[in-house]
């Protein structure tokens, strides 16, 4: 394989699409240092900043979510504009392959690649694929998946079970004491980690707020990723209850390796990338699926792990009543924690990014 590969990676919108896209790009670069990689994202979305910070060039399309735009006159205009711009970008760049990771920009870019006869590869992160991937998957050379039974939507001969590629440095190299010092917590006491995704999770935040006072009667400590919109309220509640040394609200967690390393139990949305990370670090987890996720795919993701006795699920509508009691019950049940850790570890695919590169090379050749 020629070292001078030219690859386009398209998608974004959330960290769940951006982090695997960057992980794939990094894996390509490790194997082919001279490879030329271009990202295509959606203007105004977080990939425009995150991809650039990772050191890769990115072009933006004028596109947004179908659900948001379906009732407006701008949707067909945006689709046509994005499709035409994607064609222009691909004609200038002349990639050997186009990889779609999901998100607003992925659809028009993959359709443009199909129109131009450029090989495409889809990285489907979820157990239930969205409509865009189901449509463009018909013409893809290969579909990389992380769950079984996706031959309901994709041709079986095109499916490659690779798992989801993960962002770098999520496994703790240091000690629990180092992690506790970073978050200003006591390493001798149990710690819960709440991660609501890259933008926070309102339902989970409200569930914690509703029974935050219960932490005063417990030794359980909490790293609470709130997102930007909830941080002020969370910090005020913590200060009012005098829990500053026990509960640590934060907008975003930069050192996920330290957070995962310190956590005894985790509360999380059920996005595909969150599940893949938790499987790799083997943490017992309470999933609170985002009910508004496309076609309720987060509930379907979480249910697979619940069925495998690898996780617990609390519905978003029930968080204010059930989340904290469920957390405290799990915290005291060491046998259940051990069982869940072992079972979720069976879903881990630590070499996913490199396996996807193998699929990409095969698709090109």
Render pLDDT for 6-64 as a digit per residue (tens, 0 to 9). Answer: 999 998 777 677 888 999 999 999 999 999 999 998 888 778 888 888 889 999 888 86
pLDDT digits (tens, 9 = 90+) for 120-177: 999 998 878 877 788 888 899 999 988 878 888 898 999 999 988 887 677 777 789 9
C-beta of residue 219 within 8 angstroms of C-beta of residue 247: no
290 and 146 belong to one structural domain: no
Q: Of 81, 89, 15, which Cα lies nearest the Cα of 49? A: 15
In a domain, 131, yes or no: yes
193 and 337 belong to one structural domain: yes
Across the beta sheet with 159-161, the strand order is: 58-61, 36-42, 6-10, 97-100, 120-124, 142-145, 159-161
- Indicate the pLDDT class of residue 2, thresholds 50, 70 and 90: low
Of residues 95 and 13, which shows the higher confidence score?
A: 95
Name the domain count of the chain. 2
277 and 225 belong to one structural domain: yes
Q: How much is the pLDDT for 14? A: 73
Q: How much is the pLDDT for 52? A: 87
3-state secondary structure 315-335: CHHHHHHHHHHHHHHHHHCHH
197 and 236 belong to one structural domain: yes
129 and 207 belong to one structural domain: no
Q: Structural domain of residue 242, as residue ranges?
A: 176-345
132 and 276 belong to one structural domain: no
Least confident of 32-36, 77-81, 232-236: 77-81
Statement: residue 349 has pLDDT above 90: no
In a domain, 296, yes or no: yes
C-beta of residue 7 within 8 angstroms of C-beta of residue 38: yes
21 and 86 belong to one structural domain: yes
Q: How much is the pLDDT for 356? A: 95
Of residues 296 and 330, which shows the higher confidence score?
A: 330
In a domain, 171, yes or no: no
158 and 187 belong to one structural domain: no
CATH number reported for the structural domain that contains residue 261 in this entry: 3.40.50.2000
Statement: residue 69 has pLDDT above 60: no
Statement: residue 81 has pLDDT above 90: no
List the structure tokens of 328. Answer: 């405290």
126 and 16 belong to one structural domain: yes
In a domain, 1, yes or no: no
341 and 355 belong to one structural domain: no
218 and 303 belong to one structural domain: yes
pLDDT digits (tens, 9 = 90+) for 245-256: 999 999 988 888
Backbone angles phi, psi at 51, to 5 degrees: -65, -40
Q: How far apart are CA 25 and CA 22, in angstroms?
A: 5
Q: How much is the pLDDT for 78? A: 80
In a domain, 243, yes or no: yes
In Å, how far are 82, 107, 216 from 327, measured between CA atoms? 45, 39, 14
Tell me what the pLDDT averaged over the chain comes to. Answer: 89
124 and 253 belong to one structural domain: no
């Amino acid at each position: 394989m020629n070292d001078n590969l030219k690859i386009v990676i398209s998608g974004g919108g959330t960290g769940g699409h951006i982090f695997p896209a960057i992980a794939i790009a990094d894996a390509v670069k490790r194997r082919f240092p001279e490879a030329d990689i271009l990202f295509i994202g959606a203007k105004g979305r977080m990939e425009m900043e995150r991809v650039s910070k990772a050191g890769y060039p990115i072009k933006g399309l004028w596109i947004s979510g179908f659900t948001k735009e379906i009732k407006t006159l701008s949707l067909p205009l945006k689709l046509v504009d994005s499709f035409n711009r994607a064609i222009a970008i691909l004609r200038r760049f002349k990639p050997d392959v186009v990889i779609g990771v999901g998100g607003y920009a992925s659809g028009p870019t993959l359709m443009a690649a199909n129109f131009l006869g450029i090989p495409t590869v889809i990285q489907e992160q979820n157990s239930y694929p969205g409509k865009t991937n189901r449509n463009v998957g018909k013409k893809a050379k290969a579909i990389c998946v992380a769950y079984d039974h996706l031959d309901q939507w994709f041709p079986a001969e095109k499916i490659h079970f690779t798992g989801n590629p993960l962002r770098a440095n999520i496994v703790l190299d240091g000690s629990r004491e180092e992690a506790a010092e970073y978050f200003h917590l006591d390493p001798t006491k149990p710690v819960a980690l709440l991660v609501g995704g890259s933008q926070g999770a309102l339902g989970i935040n409200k569930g914690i707020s509703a029974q935050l006072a219960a932490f005063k009667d417990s030794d359980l400590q909490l790293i609470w990723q709130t997102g930007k919109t909830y941080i002020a309220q969370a910090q005020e509640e913590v200060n009012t209850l005098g829990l500053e040394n026990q509960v640590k609200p934060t907008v975003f967690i930069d050192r996920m390796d330290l957070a995962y390393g310190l956590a005894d139990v985790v509360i999380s949305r059920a996005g595909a990338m969150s599940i893949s990370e938790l499987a790799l670090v083997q943490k017992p987890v309470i999933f609170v699926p985002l009910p508004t996720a496309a076609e309720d795919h987060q509930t379907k993701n979480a249910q697979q792990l619940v069925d495998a006795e690898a996780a617990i699920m609390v519905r978003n509508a029930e968080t204010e009543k059930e989340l904290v009691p469920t957390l405290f019950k799990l915290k005291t049940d060491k046998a259940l924690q051990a069982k869940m850790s072992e079972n979720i570890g069976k879903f881990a695919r630590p070499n996913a990014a490199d396996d996807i590169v193998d699929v990409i090379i095969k698709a090109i050749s």
